[in-house]
Structure 1
Amino acid sequence: MTSELFSDWLRHFDRSMRLKGRTVILLLDNAASHNHKEVRLTNVTVPSLRPNTTAHIQPMDAGIIRNFNALYKKSLVKHFITCAENGQPQMLTLRLAIRFVKSAWDEVSAKCINNCYKHVDIIPTTAQTEDESDDDISLAELRNFMQQLPRSDGDEVPTAEQYVDEDTVVDTGHELTDEEIINRVQPPTDDQSDDEDQPAVVPPTVAEALQHTDR
C-alpha cells in the first residue's frame, strides 16, 4: 500500500458513502501510506490513532491480521510440502497466492473477530472464560505442517510464531523513486548478462495460455 493507492481508494470510498447518503468515521493508524492531506472528503471523517496505540485499541492489530497470516501461511507450507512430495519445484504463482488469500480470509471466524473487538473494549466483554483461541489453533496447525517441511542438516528453521510475525517488520508503504523503478525493469547490461548462450524464450500460444488459465 502506498499513499497514492490509499488516496485513490479513499476518494472512491467517500464517493460511495455520498451516493448512499451516509456519513461515516474511518479510524486509521499512523502508517506512512495513510497520508491523505490532499484528499477532499465530504462524507468521511478520518481521525488518526495516537502513536504507539494501534495494537491496544485497533481490532485488526489485536489478533485478526495475525490469525489471517497464520491461516495463509499454513496453506503456503502445505503447498510447498505437496511440491516436495511430488518432486516439483517449490514455486508459487500469483493466481495460487490469491486463492490462498481468499481461503485464509474465509477461515477467519466471527468468533476471532468478536474476541478481538472485546479485547480492545469496543464491545463489552463477558465474565465467561474464552475457549482456546482460533489464533492458537491456527498456529498449532501451522507448526505441525512446518515440521513436515524437508530440510538439510544445519538449516535454521523459524518457529511458527516467527514465521507469522516476520511481515510486521517489512516496509509495505515505501514509494519507489523513478531511478529505483528503472533499475528494476531495465534489461541487464552486457557485463551483467550471461544469457548470450541461452536459447531465446518462445512465448506461449493463445491456446496454451488459455489451457493454463483453467488449472
Structure 2
Amino acid sequence: MSHRKALTLEEKVALIKDNQNGHGLSVRQLADNYKISKISAANIRRRSEEFLADYSSNSNKGIKRKLKDENRQKIDEIVFEWFAQQRAKQIPFSDPILQEKARQVAEQLGYTTETFKASNGWLEKFRSRHAISFRTINGESASVDDSAVEEWVQRLSTKLDGFNENDVFNADETGLFYRATPDRSLVLSKEECKGGKKSKERLTVFLCSYLTGTEKLKPVVIGSSQRPRCLKNITTSKLPVTWLSNRTAWMTCNLFTDWLILINSQMEKKNRKILLFIDNAPCYIINHDLSNFKIVFVPPNTTSKCQPLDQGVIHSFKCYYRQKLVKHIIAQCTLAQTADQISTTVLDPIKWIDLSWENVTENTIRNGFRTAGFIHSSSTSSSSMMNMDIIIETDIESNNSDNPLQQLELLLAHIDIGGSHLTAAEFVEMDSCIPTFNEWDDYGHLKSSIQVTQDDNEEEEEDAFVEKPPNLPEALEMMRRLHLFASIEQPQLHNLIYDLESQLTDIYLDSKAVKQSSITDYFS
C-alpha cells in the first residue's frame, strides 16, 4: 500500500494555478504531476478559493492540513485574531500567555479542561499553522537595549562594505492624523485608532531615503479607501505619492512586498545594487528573490536609536506637514463661518506630504544617518549620539530659514479653536505612537476582524462636497484676478503669478495644437 501524500499549502496553490493559468490540466494530470490521488486533486480544486485566501492572508505556506473540528478551528481563528491585534500594539508574548488565552476561548465555546488543554503540542501546531516565531517585538515604546545598539554600530561598517553611500537606504512608516487640529481632545490612544470611524482620519506614510539625502523615493501613502471621492476623476498613478489602501490604513505584508518588487525593478533598469535597512515590523516579510536588493533588519528594541529616519527626519517631515495644515486652516477661515465649514479632503494631505518630504533637507537626513552610527564624524566619536535638537539646528543653518518648529508655533498663534491647545511640539508628535502595520493581508482574517460594511466604505472619510475643478480657461481667468489682487495689495507676488500663468498658457496652447485653430477659437 502506497504512502499517502499530503501537499503543503504552497503546493496546493501551485496546483490551483496549474489548473487556472491556461494549462487546462485535467484532474488525472494534476494527480499524476503532484503524486496524489484523483480525489485529493479534485478536492483541492473544489476548495481553491479557501486555499488561496489562506495563502494571501500569510498563513504558513508549509502547512499541510487544516483542523477538521469546526469548534477547534474557531478557537484557532479567534486566538490568532487576538494575537495579531496585540502584536499591532507592540505587546510582547510568551507561550503560557497564548495557551491561557486559548483555554479561555475554549471554555466560552463549551470545552472543559479535560476536552481541551492547550497543551504544548497544540501550541507548536498553532505556531506552525500561522508561521509564528516569538521574536522580540521592537518599537520606540520598548526599552532600548544599549549593549545591542553598541554592538550594532560596531558591525555597521562590515554591513556597509561594498556599497556606495548613494546606494544605502533606510525606510520607515509613520502614522498621520491628516486633518487633526491642535486641540487636546483630538489626541487619541493607539487602541482608539484600530478600525471604525477614527481610523478614517488617519493615513500611514512610508518614507525612504538615501544616506546622502540627495535623493528621496516617492512617498507611499496608505489610506482606508481604494479610491476616495476626491480622487474620483484623478489618475492615481499621476499623483505625487504612491497611493495604496486597505481597511485599516496600515502597512501590510502584501503592500510592502509590492513596493519592494517595484523598487527592485527600477534599480534593475538602472543597473544598481542597493542596501536597504528596515526595522523588524511583522509586516516586513520577504517572500521574493530580489536581484538588486540586499535587506538588513535593525536589531529588535533598538529602533529609537538605530533607525536613521527616527533620528529627527520624520520629526522634521511632520513639522513641515503641520505647517501646511495650519496654513490651510487659516486660508479657509477667511470664508468659513464655522469650524465645520473648514474642508480637508485626502487630496490635500497628498499634496502636503509630497511637499513636506521635499522640504526635509539633505543635511537633516545625513544627520539622521550620522546619529544612527552610519556616518562617522572626524571630530568626535560621540557625534553618533547627537541630540535631535542639534539636528534641527544644523538643518536651520543649511536651509537659511527659521526653525520649522518655531514657524509652526507662530502659525498656531493665528488660530483660535477654543479649549485647551497643543504646543507646536505636542502637535507634531500627537500621532507618533499610533499603529502603522498589521501582520495580516487585508483580504484574510482582517476582513472579518474590522467591522466595515460596504456602506461604510462608500461613505468615505470626507463627507464634504467635492468641488468641481476649474477648466483651463477658468484657471487663466483666475490668473487675471490674481494679478489684480497683486497690483493693489501685494506687488511682490506678480513674478510668481506670471510664472504660473506662463505654464498654464503653454498647457492651453498645447491642447489647442492638435487641430488648426483661428485666433477667434482662443476666445471661445
Question: Match for residue 196 of structure 1?
Answer: none
Question: Match for residue 186 of structure 1?
Answer: 455
Pairs aligned (count): 195
Task: Give the drift of 1:21.
Answer: 3.5
Question: Match for residue 165 of structure 1?
Answer: 429
Pick which of 179-188 and 91-100 moved more. Answer: 179-188
User: Given the superposition, is the C-alpha separation of residues 16 and 109 from structure 1 closer, same or farther in structure 2, using an over 3 Å criterion?
Assistant: closer
Q: Is the 8 A contact 1:25 1:44 kept in 2?
A: yes
**Structure 2: 5+ residue runs without aligned partners?**
1-250, 384-389, 397-401, 458-464, 476-524
Q: Kindly indicate whether residue 358 of structure 2 is the aligned counterpart of residue 92 of structure 1.
A: no
Q: Measure the CA separation in 2 of the matches of 1:133 and 1:159.
A: 22
Equivalence map 1:122-201=2 (5 Å)? 122-125=374-377, 127=379, 132-134=393-395, 137-152=403-418, 155-174=419-438, 176=442, 177-179=446-448, 183-186=452-455
Q: Is the 8 A contact 1:71 1:104 kept in 2?
A: yes
Q: Measure the CA separation in 1 of the matches of 2:309 and 2:424.
A: 20
Task: Give the drift of 1:115.
Answer: 2.2
Q: Kindly indicate whether residue 296 of structure 2 is the aligned counterpart of residue 32 of structure 1.
A: no
Q: Measure the CA separation in 1 of the matches of 2:455 and 2:279.
A: 36
Could you tell me the TM-score, scaled by structure 2's length?
0.34
Task: Give the drift of 1:68.
Answer: 0.5
Q: Kindly indicate whether residue 309 of structure 2 is the aligned counterpart of residue 60 of structure 1.
A: yes
Pick which of 125-134 and 167-176 moved more. Answer: 125-134
User: Given the superposition, is the C-alpha separation of residues 13 and 132 from structure 1 closer, same or farther in structure 2, using an over 3 Å criterion?
Assistant: closer
Structure with bigger strand share is 2
Q: Measure the CA separation in 2 of the matches of 1:46 and 1:132.
A: 32
User: Given the superposition, is the C-alpha separation of residues 41 and 187 from structure 1 closer, same or farther in structure 2, using an over 3 Å criterion?
Assistant: closer
% identical aligned pairs? 27
CA offset digits 1:95-152 (Å, max 9, x no partner)? 2222211221221112222222222232232549968244881111111112222122
Q: Measure the CA separation in 2 of the matches of 1:173 and 1:47.
A: 19
Q: Kindly indicate whether residue 367 of structure 2 is the aligned counterpart of residue 118 of structure 1.
A: no
User: Which of 198, 211, 214 does residue 470 from structure 2 map onto?
Assistant: 211
| Structure exhibiting the larger radius of gyration computed from Cα positions | 2
Q: Report the residue type matching 1:158 in the other structure.
A: L
Question: Match for residue 194 of structure 1?
Answer: none
User: Given the superposition, is the C-alpha separation of residues 132 and 180 from structure 1 closer, same or farther in structure 2, using an over 3 Å criterion?
Assistant: same
User: Which of 65, 71, 78 does residue 320 from structure 2 map onto?
Assistant: 71
Could you tell me the TM-score, scaled by structure 1's length?
0.76
User: Given the superposition, is the C-alpha separation of residues 166 and 99 from structure 1 closer, same or farther in structure 2, using an over 3 Å criterion?
Assistant: same
SS in 2 for 1:45: strand
Question: Match for residue 298 of structure 2?
Answer: 49
User: Given the superposition, is the C-alpha separation of residues 76 and 212 from structure 1 closer, same or farther in structure 2, using an over 3 Å criterion?
Assistant: farther
CA offset digits 1:51-85 (Å, max 9, x no partner)? 12222122211011110001001110111122123
Q: Measure the CA separation in 1 of the matches of 2:412 and 2:422.
A: 9
Task: Give the drift of 1:181.
Answer: 6.0
Q: Report the residue type matching 1:146 in the other structure.
A: L
Q: Report the residue type matching 1:139 in the other structure.
A: L
Q: Measure the CA separation in 2 of the matches of 1:212 and 1:182.
A: 40
Q: Kindly indicate whether residue 362 of structure 2 is the aligned counterpart of residue 102 of structure 1.
A: no
User: Given the superposition, is the C-alpha separation of residues 124 and 3 from structure 1 closer, same or farther in structure 2, using an over 3 Å criterion?
Assistant: same
Q: Kindly indicate whether residue 15 of structure 2 is the aligned counterpart of residue 15 of structure 1.
A: no
Task: Give the drift of 1:187.
Answer: 5.9
Point out which structure has higher relative CO (alpha carbons under 8 A, 6+ apart). 1
**Structure 1: 5+ residue runs without aligned partners?**
189-202
Task: Give the drift of 1:43.
Answer: 2.9
CA offset digits 1:155-186 (Å, max 9, x no partner)? 12122112111222111213552235662433
Q: Is the 8 A contact 1:84 1:150 kept in 2?
A: no
